[in-house]
Amino acid sequence: MARKNRDDVASWRVAEPEPVLCPICERVIPDEQKDDHHLVPKSKGGKKTVCLHRICHDQIHATFTVSELAKKFSTIEAILEDPAMQKFVAWVRSKPPGFFDSAKEPRHAHGSGSGRKP
Ligand SMILES: [Zn+2]
Ligand SMILES: [Zn+2]
């Protein structure tokens, strides 16, 4: 089985000169992983957003409630001081930038009998 790295290569060849870095894990964010996070939740009147990986964004909302975010964790600095987030960052940094825990989402069926030959 040959290894495929086409996602890695493609993300560096797009016309944008500056790759977007995630302020949580400081890795490049591939287009399909870009997600906006409201530093103060929208439901609390927040307007400012930051661009994060979907997986980093999910982690924030899994770690903090909306009221915690509004009161205490409305900056990236505060979020990164939380031990649970530090643990997550250490883990996610070891993953490729396009990594997303696909267990949560149904995958498209891949392949219709790849090994078959007439
Ligand atoms: Zn968010
Ligand atoms: Zn990230």
What's the pLDDT at 9?
Answer: 59
Ligand 2 centroid distance, CA of 88 (Å): 10
What's the pLDDT at 18?
Answer: 79
User: What is the Cα gyration radius of the chain?
Assistant: 17
Q: How far is CA 97 from CA 28, 67, 113, in A?
A: 6, 29, 29
What's the pLDDT at 64?
Answer: 97
Ligand 1 centroid distance, CA of 56 (Å): 9
Q: Which CATH architecture has domain 19-95?
A: Orthogonal Bundle (1.10)
What's the pLDDT at 3?
Answer: 63
What's the pLDDT at 98?
Answer: 84
Q: Which residues of the chain have pLDDT under 50?
A: 105-107, 109, 111-115
What's the pLDDT at 1?
Answer: 59
Ligand 1 centroid distance, CA of 47 (Å): 11
What's the pLDDT at 109?
Answer: 47
Buried b (16+ CB within 10 A) or exposed e, 64-82: beeeebbeebbebebbeeb
Q: How far apart, in whole angstroms, are the C-alpha atoms of residue 56 and residue 23?
A: 9
Identify the nearest ligand to the CA of 69 by its number: 1
What's the pLDDT at 41?
Answer: 95
What's the pLDDT at 46?
Answer: 93
Ligand 2 is an ion; residues with CB less than 5 A from it: 22, 24-25, 53, 56
Ligand 2 centroid distance, CA of 34 (Å): 9
Ligand 2 centroid distance, CA of 110 (Å): 26
What's the pLDDT at 112?
Answer: 47
Q: How far apart, in whole angstroms, are the C-alpha atoms of residue 22 and residue 50?
A: 9
Ligand 2 centroid distance, CA of 36 (Å): 11
